[in-house]
Structures are given as C-alpha cells and as structure tokens.
Amino acid sequence: MKKKQRALGRPRKEQGAMATEEIILHTATGLFLEKGFQHVSMDDVAKKCNVTKATVYYYYKTKTDLFMDSMIKLMVRIRERSSAILSTDEPLKTQLFQFASAHLKATVDIDINTFMKEAKITLSQEQMEEMKKAEDALYNELESALTRSMERGEIRKCNPRLATLVFVNLLTVKNSMDESYQNSFDSVEDLAKELVDFYWNGLAGGN
C-alpha cells in the first residue's frame, strides 16, 4: 500500500505540533525584540529553532503573520501578569509599583516607541487593529483599578482613562535615557519606584 505523503513543511507527528509552534513563536518573539522586524528572516527563526524553514512556513504563511502573533502573545502575557497584580487587595500605590516593575522588566530591551512605529509600517490595518485590541485590554485593566481606587477615595477623582495613558507612557521614559543615566539606577525596581513616586505625587496630591 502506498504511504500517504504528508503536506510539505508539516512537522512529523512525533514532534508534537503544539510544542513546535510554541517554540517557533517564543523564539521569533525573542529575535524580533532583539533585532527588530526588518533584521529577522524566517530562515533565522528556523535555524534558531533547529527546524526547517518549511516547518516555520507551515505555521506562519508570512513573516508579518509571525510578527503579529508574536507581539499579540507578548501583550497578552503582559496583560495577564498585570491583571494578577491589579486584582489583589494591595494598596493602589503598591499595585502600581508592581505593575511598573513587571512592565519595565518585560520591555527592558525594547524601545517601545520605535518598535510600534515599525509595526505600523509593517502590519496591515486589520493586523494593527488586532494589536490595538490586545493593547486596549491592558489599558482597561489599569483603568479599572484606578476607577476602583477613586471610588474608595484612595486617590482624587480625575479622568481614569487619561490617568491610565499618562502612567503607561511614563513607563516609556527609559527610552529617552542614555545608557549612563539608566545605569545610575541600581535595578529596575529602583527606576519603577522613582517613576511611581513621581506619578503618585500628582495623582494622590502627594499623600
């Protein structure tokens, strides 16, 4: 009986399809964050994963598709971590510090502003909308936490959406720091504390 030929690029069953896809996605995310979209090829991803290029193309038809999935999954991981932090009974300032620390650690090697500009050039309108949904989900978690704190009287009432955007953008200030100034902070936590203190003085009136 003639053996049925498997589809080109399809990984062998014993490899574990889900495991292979996860390895490709995890590896590609690291490469994109390290080198940027333009400087990463599908061949680079395949070599790093120790699989054939056909295997990478089996899961992702284009590098753009792989990039989009990588970034969305990254945002989802950050959101899930942030959601866990913001759903605790800790005081808001403690939550903001933990949020800032987690966010800075997740983006320590990324110039977010440059990275997103590159994404806008690379991705289609539909793909950008998918990324925006993932980004908005993160903002919504923080906005809800700020709103709850306002309702409890922990902080003064203001526009919670604006307060959310200001805080998230404040965390990108490290992209404007030169290396020597970044190194003046002993750790990510030290930078997070200074940023949160600066933000808190305006949000809570210095209390």
In this prediction the pTM is 0.71
165 and 135 housed in the same domain: yes
pLDDT digits (tens, 9 = 90+) for 60-88: 999 989 988 888 888 788 888 888 998 88
Whose CA is closest to 171, among 72, 82, 91? 82
**Mean pLDDT in residue range 118-122:** 70
Which CATH number covers residue 21? 1.10.10.60
pLDDT > 90: percent of the chain: 38
Arithmetic mean of pLDDT over the chain: 82
36 and 69 housed in the same domain: no
Q: Which domain holds residue 139?
A: 63-203
pLDDT digits (tens, 9 = 90+) for 5-25: 545 455 554 444 458 999 999
Can you tell me the distance from the alpha carbon of 36 to that of 34, in angstroms, rounded to the nearest whole number?
6
Quick count: other Cβ atoms within 10 Å of Cβ 194?
13
142 and 82 housed in the same domain: yes
112 and 173 housed in the same domain: yes
